[in-house]
């Protein structure tokens, strides 16, 4: 039997994973990996942390778990995979099953035949069509070359002011990296919030925190990059504001790199990514596609989405590597789009559907709740977590969760991701058996406590109001009676300052006469995290008050100005 000829186009994450998995399953296959850039198997999610100085050795972005640099020599010696770097594929003949390519350093052209082909062409940064975008000082953070350039900026210490355009994951991470270098940062986002995978309240909490570090401008975009002698000097915004700076980083998202796939007539999906089946085959059964260049189904809605995440790319590469060798035996089911980022000392993450995305998908009969608590006991230096949970009201199935704060966000998000993929309900979550010891969690873990709050809400035992809803009432002069049940010293240190009355929980039963006589009066009650607020609401309800609601998450989840 002749050797199977496999060509993989793209050498970042998914491509090398596919090639490596294929080799492990077939020692005799002829495997060639073609990479346009000079580097292979780059840890691109690590670029901001290299720029920020979390580590100094550039090679760590290219190393295997054993610490060996994954260059062409490594791939040949360890895996018997031929790699052609600095090489661009310029054509695919699907009839002849032949790939044509050019060496970008020498200009030499060549071709190779394949039995199976893998497209792992990744994604490209979105760039706004504005004047001056080619000025020196305007860059992205998508490639190793970008990372090298920004690391050089950091190390030289010459640039003092920078503008980050885009408030998504890369924009946030780049902001932290350059802020750590002592650069004055202005972040510009065209939309009304940062991190659009979050719902508005959660995004406003992140914005409130980030504003304490850098200047954030929302609802504004870039109209021009202005320079002198080809070098950036100013960023001009839509409202006419001009921001002096020496550096601008474009971070407005990525789009699937499907130019090669389109050129050979492969089917493109509704999101702009290459369309693949469950085996990650394209419309040509001998061509597979993986990573940031494809679209995949969302496991909850069934709709196709573009999910450019490094972990998914690696998982998909593994699946394709196996299917190349043994036939279509493994499938990629889809994604719930779990993502997390570091925002200075905060973790910020989301999994499943946000409230707004659930509504867009037609899931309008949903319940949401916001819960705030520590991740572990105060005597173990517990840190704050704020979680928003989204549930299908009819079935109580968990649809999504968003978690932010300085606490153990990653752990919480992993719990919710498993619950969502396991199609768990709130009732299943409230008694789930998680590990507990004071150094690691509360006796009732934050995730379980969040499920308890949701269960109480679904049963009608807890009537909540979000910070967004309360702020809207206050702003429109429709404020209910506002009751803060913390202690006086807490009230003096921090309060909402929206007309609330202080009545400590321990005194509430004795001072009910100080409340409005009309038992139909709408009352909103809270404390620091609204645990005492919930207890106060139960006391008021037991004493005949019919319209009592609790501010979900309390003061800690209030995203607006406090006093």
DSSP 183-230: -EEEEE-SSSSS-TTS-HHHHHHHHHHHTTTSEEE-S--EEEEEEETT
**Among candidate residues 238, 234, 243, 240, the one with its CA nearest the CA of residue 223:** 238
**pLDDT of 2:** 63
- Strands in 339-343's sheet, in edge-to-edge order, are 339-343, 346-352, 398-405, 384-392, 366-374
Instruction: Report which DSSP code applies to 69.
Output: B
Q: Tens of pLDDT along 63-98?
A: 999 899 999 999 999 999 999 999 999 999 999 999
Give me the chain's average pLDDT, please: 96
What is the phi-psi region of residue 39: left when phi exceeds 0, alpha when psi lies from -120 to 50, beta otherwise?
A: beta
* 3.40.50.2300, 2.40.420.20, 3.50.50.60, 3.50.30.10: CATH of 138-252: 3.50.50.60
Q: Please give the average per-residue pLDDT across 481-500, as a whole number.
A: 97
| pLDDT above 50 (res 36) | yes
Helix (H, G, I), strand (E, B) or coil at 518: coil
**pLDDT of 3:** 85
Confidence band of 101 (pLDDT split at 50, 70, 90): very high
| Tokens representing residue 198 in the block | 């979050």
Domain ranges of the chain: 5-122+255-326, 138-252, 339-458, 464-557
Q: Is there a contact between 291 and 10 (Cβ–Cβ < 8 Å)? A: yes
Q: Is there a contact between 260 and 275 (Cβ–Cβ < 8 Å)? A: no
Instruction: Report which DSSP code applies to 507.
Output: G
**Among candidate residues 393, 396, 426, 422, the one with its CA nearest the CA of residue 299:** 422
CATH number of 339-458: 3.50.50.60
DSSP E strand stretches across 451-510: 464-465, 481-484, 501-502
Q: Tens of pLDDT along 293-344?
A: 999 999 999 999 999 999 999 999 999 999 999 999 999 999 999 999 999 9
Q: Please give the average per-residue pLDDT across 208-229, as a whole number.
A: 96
**Among candidate residues 442, 411, 548, 551, the one with its CA nearest the CA of residue 495:** 551
Is 138-252's fold the same as 464-557's? no
| Tokens representing residue 251 in the block | 């971070």
| pLDDT above 90 (res 545) | yes
| pLDDT above 90 (res 9) | yes
The answer regarding whether domain 464-557 maps to CATH 3.40.250.10 reads yes
Query: On the CB side of 472, how many CA atoms lie within 13 Å of its CA?
Result: 6
In a 10 Å sphere around its CB, with 0-12 CB exposed, 13-18 middle and 19+ buried, how is residue 140 labelled?
Answer: buried
| pLDDT above 90 (res 1) | no
Q: Please give the average per-residue pLDDT across 452-476, as a whole number.
A: 97
CATH number of 5-122+255-326: 3.50.50.60
Q: Tens of pLDDT along 365-400?
A: 999 999 999 999 999 999 999 999 999 999 999 999
| pLDDT above 90 (res 39) | yes
**pLDDT of 419:** 98
Q: Tens of pLDDT along 421-430?
A: 999 999 999 9
Percent of all residues in the chain with a pLDDT value above 90, rounded to a whole number = 98
| Tokens representing residue 486 in the block | 């913390």
| Tokens representing residue 325 in the block | 């060798």
Q: How many CB atoms neighbour CB 82 within 10 A?
A: 16
Helices 310-326 + 14-25 axis angle, to 10: 30
pTM score:
0.95
Q: Tens of pLDDT along 246-283?
A: 999 999 999 999 999 999 999 999 999 999 999 999 99
């Amino acid at each position: 039997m002749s050797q199977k000829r496999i060509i993989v186009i793209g050498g970042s994450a998914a491509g090398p994973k596919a090639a490596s998995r294929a080799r492990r399953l077939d020692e005799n296959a002829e495997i060639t990996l073609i990479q346009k850039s000079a580097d292979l198997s780059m840890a691109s999610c690590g670029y901001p942390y290299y720029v920020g100085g979390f580590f100094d050795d550039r090679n760590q972005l290219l190393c295997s778990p054993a610490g060996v640099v994954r260059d062409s020599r490594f791939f040949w010696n360890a895996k018997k995979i031929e790699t052609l770097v600095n090489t661009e594929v310029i054509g695919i003949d699907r009839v002849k099953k032949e790939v044509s390519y050019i060496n970008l350093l020498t200009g030499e052209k060549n071709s190779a035949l394949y039995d199976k082909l893998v497209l792992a062409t990744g994604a490209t940064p979105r760039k706004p069509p504005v004047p001056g975008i080619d000025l020196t000082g305007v860059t992205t953070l998508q490639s190793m070359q970008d990372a090298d350039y920004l690391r050089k900026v950091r190390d030289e210490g010459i640039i003092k002011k920078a503008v980050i355009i885009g408030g998504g994951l890369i924009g946030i991470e780049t902001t932290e990296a350059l802020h750590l270098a002592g650069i004055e940062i202005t972040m510009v986002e065209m939309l009304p919030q940062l991190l659009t995978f979050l719902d508005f309240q959660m995004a406003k909490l992140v914005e409130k925190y980030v504003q304490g570090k850098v200047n954030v401008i929302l609802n504004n975009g870039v109209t021009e990059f202005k320079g002198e002698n080809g070098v950036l000097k100013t960023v001009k915004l839509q409202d006419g504001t001009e921001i002096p700076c020496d550096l601008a980083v474009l971070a407005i998202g990525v789009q699937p790199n499907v130019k090669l796939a389109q050129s050979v007539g492969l089917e493109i999906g509704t999101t702009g990514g290459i369309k693949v089946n469950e085996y990650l085959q394209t419309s040509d059964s001998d061509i597979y596609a993986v990573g940031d260049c494809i679209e995949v189904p969302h496991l909850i809605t069934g709709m196709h989405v573009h999910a450019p995440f490094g972990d998914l790319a690696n998982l998909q590469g593994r699946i394709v590597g196996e299917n190349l060798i043994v036939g279509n035996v493994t499938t990629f089911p889809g994604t719930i789009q779990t993502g997390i980022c570091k925002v200075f000392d905060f973790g910020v993450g989301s999994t499943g559907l946000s409230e707004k995305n659930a509504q867009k998908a037609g899931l309008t009969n949903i319940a949401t709740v916001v819960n705030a608590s520590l991740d572990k006991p105060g005597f173990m230096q517990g840190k704050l977590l704020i979680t928003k949970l989204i549930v299908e009201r009819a079935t109580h199935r968990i649809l999504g969760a968003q978690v932010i704060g300085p606490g153990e966000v990653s752990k919480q998000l992993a719990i919710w991701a498993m619950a969502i993929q396991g199609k768990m309900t709130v009732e299943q979550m409230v008694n789930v058996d998680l590990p507990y010891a004071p150094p690691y969690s509360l006796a009732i873990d934050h995730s379980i406590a969040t499920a308890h709050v949701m269960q109480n809400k679904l049963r009608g035992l807890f009537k909540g109001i979000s910070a967004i809803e309360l702020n809207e009432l206050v702003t429109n002069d429709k404020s209910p009676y506002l009751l803060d049940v913390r202690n006086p010293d807490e009230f003096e240190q921090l309060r909402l300052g929206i007309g609330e009355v202080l009545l400590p929980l321990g005194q509430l039963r004795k001072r009910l006469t100080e409340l409005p006589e009309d038992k139909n009066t709408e009352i909103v009650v809270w404390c620091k995290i609204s645990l005492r607020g919930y207890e106060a609401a139960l006391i008021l309800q037991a004493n005949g008050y019919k319209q009592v609601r609790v501010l979900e998450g309390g003061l800690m989840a209030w995203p607006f100005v406090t006093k």
